[in-house]
Amino acid sequence: MPFLLCADFSIFPDDHVLGPFFTLAAMDFTDVPGGATSFVNETAGTLALQFPEVGLDVDLPPLAIPSKIKLRVGAFAGPFDISALDAAGNVIASKTIALLNLFHNVGFGQPDIDRLEFRGGNNEGMIASICVIV
């Protein structure tokens, strides 16, 4: 029976360093080399993972149903892009988070998503949670 699996950053204290590589909820998070280290930051009353401008890559669990991905994200210093890639590394969907200073619920419904890439945000792109159905 399928269930919802979430990487939820509200379980960590403010300023808790997690990067440059960690696993949470069977998702592998990797800071793109050359940037700051991702950490949990409380912003707008929400604890979320703050990632570097150069980016963050998230490999989804191998058992995830790739057409059911839900995210809660926020841009606080500039817009950022989220790309959904298949196992071959092809971008199959993308979203730009441009509305600043608040968190948004976004989702992807394309089949075969294997990985998410986050780029931009002027070092203040935030991920409160990523949920997949497994």
Q: Minimum mean pLDDT among 48-52, 89-93, 106-110, 120-124: which range? A: 106-110
H-type alpha helices, 2-134: none
Q: Report the pLDDT value the prediction gives residue 52, as an integer from 0 to 100.
A: 97
Radius of gyration over every alpha carbon of the chain, rounded to an integer in angstroms: 13
Tokens linked to 93: 């969907």
Average pLDDT, the chain: 93
13-129 has which fold?
Jelly Rolls (2.60.120)
Distance CA 99, CA 80 (A): 10
- Domain map (residue ranges) of the chain: 13-129
Confidence of residue 42 (pLDDT cuts 50, 70, 90): very high
Answer yes or no: is pLDDT of 13 > 70.
yes
Distance CA 35, CA 109 (A): 30
Q: Report the pLDDT value the prediction gives residue 65, as an integer from 0 to 100.
A: 66
Q: Report the pLDDT value the prediction gives residue 108, as an integer from 0 to 100.
A: 93
